[in-house]
Each structure stands twice: as C-alpha cells, then as structure tokens.
Amino acid sequence: MQHDLLHELSEKVHSVPAEVGLAVRGVDIDVQLDINSTQTFRSASIIKVPLLAALFWLNEQGALDWHEMMPLHNSVRTPGSGILRELHTGLELTLRDLAVLMIVLSDNTATNMLIDRVGVERVQQFLKLLGFCHTTLQRKMYDFAAAEQGRENLCCASEIADLLKWMAQGAIRATDGAMLVSDAGCEQMLEIMREQFYRDQIPALLPDEAKVANKTGEISGHHHDSAVIWTPAGCYTLVVLTRGFEHRRLAAPFIAELSLTVYETICHHRQDSSR
C-alpha cells in the first residue's frame, strides 16, 4: 500500500509547477511517507502549531497561566488574518483566548501578543528539546524588516508531521524522553485545532466520517496545510508545504486532492485487509 501511494503522490507532486514537501505519519496505523519532507519552506502560519505546543509546555512547567490577561494595544495590531485588529483598544483577553484566536482564525495580532509574552528564545528552546533542525521561530508575524535581515520563520513537512503525530498520540517528549506536553495538554491542543475556520485544503474533499484538526499557512507564493485526520481505518497526520503556486485557487485544490488520495488509499487498504 505504501509503495503504491508514494508512487501516486509523487506523480501528482511532479505534475505541478511548484515545489512540494509532503509527510504522512501513522498515529495508530503503520504508515510513513515522505516526499521532500526535510526541505525547508517559509512556514507562514504553520509556525503557530509549534508555538501552540510551546505555550502548553510552558503552562505545564508553571511558567504560564492560561488565565493571565493581556490588553489589546494599538501598537500590537497586525495586518493579515484575524479579528483582533478590528476590536477596541484596551480589550483584555486571556492567554487561552489568544491561543484559540491564533489557531482557529490564524489571528496575527493574537500570535504576536503571545510571542511578546513568552519570547522567541523560549520557543526556540522548545524546538531544540524536540530535536528539530529545520523548524524555527525567529520573528513575529508581518515583521518584514526582520525577514530582510535573514530572521525568517521556517519549517519542514517531516517535523510538523511528527509533532502532530506526538500530539495525537497524547505525549510530546524531548529527545531524552522527558515529558514536555502531557496527554491532557495534547487533547486541549487538538480541541482547538478541530475548530479551524480555514478548511479548503486538507479537509475540503474528505467525507464527513473523516474528522480533521488542521492549521494552514500562506505567505508570498507559499501555501501550506497540516492536519491530524481520524478515519474509520485509523488516525494519521498529513503535512503539505508548497512554494511556487501563483494563486491560492491553484494550490488549495491541489492540496485537497493529495489529501483525498491519502485518505482513500489508507481506507481502502484497511477494508481490503479486513476481508
């Protein structure tokens, strides 16, 4: 099954005028697929997934209280996706509120407020504990001056797929085995991701029986999606990163088609195996 699926996905990847990084990880089924999965891409809002995990790590360490309040100031309003930039100055939100907005609406203002609160260095520390070599947070959202100085947020498909796999398995651990985020924290993260507003890529063509928790990302020719998918045949993670599609209207159907191919192959294989 894996060989045939890898061949079909590779053909689809090579048929488009874009670079594609793809990774599939079985959570409770035996599947692992990689196509350019360690190739580094600008992460766009995909970086919000490891940032969310780092926040839960800090919470479990006692370094962050989800009930802590942060006021909305004009100085932190950030363009792009989200709703906070439209709301009134002085509005107070809990860190938990900000985390939900960061994922569900991909709110850039909420994201930057959280980065201000915990610091880039703490997130980088978390990524190093995971042993990640390619995924990195080096700047806030829409900080193009930092990007021009070479401080860019990056990721690769394999590391994000692994992180989502550990989340779905209920334990995120450091390379030395130390627990970073517990089962309770992992489930809370998945609950937030299940409420995702942007569902026109990985979830778009899947049937209702497939349950999806996902996070998208988009910036200057980069179009991404990352997800945990629960199916009757089992649970797996899928990450698709792209660079070079001219428009989202071309990238989104392509990612949706890849997702459907993975879903159908895994489900049909399980059905055939059970006969």
| CATH, residue 39 | 3.40.710.10
* Model confidence band, residue 148 (pLDDT cutoffs 50, 70, 90): confident
- The 10s digit of each residue's pLDDT in 32-71 is 999 999 999 999 999 999 999 999 999 999 999 999 999 9
* pLDDT tens sequence across 201-239: 999 999 999 999 999 999 989 999 999 999 999 999 999
Q: Give me the pLDDT at residue 271, please.
A: 58
C-alpha span between 165 and 229 (Å, rounded): 10
* CA distance linking residue 99 with residue 109, whole number of Å: 11
Measured CA to CA, the distance from residue 74 to residue 80 in angstroms comes to: 15
Q: How many angstroms separate the CA atoms of 162 and 79, rounded?
A: 30
| Domain count for the chain | 1
Instruction: Find the domain containing 216 and state its range.
Output: 2-273
Summarised one tens digit per residue, pLDDT across range 161-199 is: 999 999 999 999 999 999 999 999 999 999 999 999 999
Measure the CA angle with vertex 218, ends 213 and 222; round to 5°. Answer: 120
The chain-wide mean pLDDT, for the chain, equals: 95
* Cβ proximity of 21 and 231 under 8 Å: no
Per-residue pLDDT of 119-129, as tens digits, reads: 999 999 999 99
Cα–Cα distance, 227 to 41 (Å, whole number): 17
What's the pTM?
0.96
Q: Stretch 245-254: mean pLDDT, rounded?
A: 95
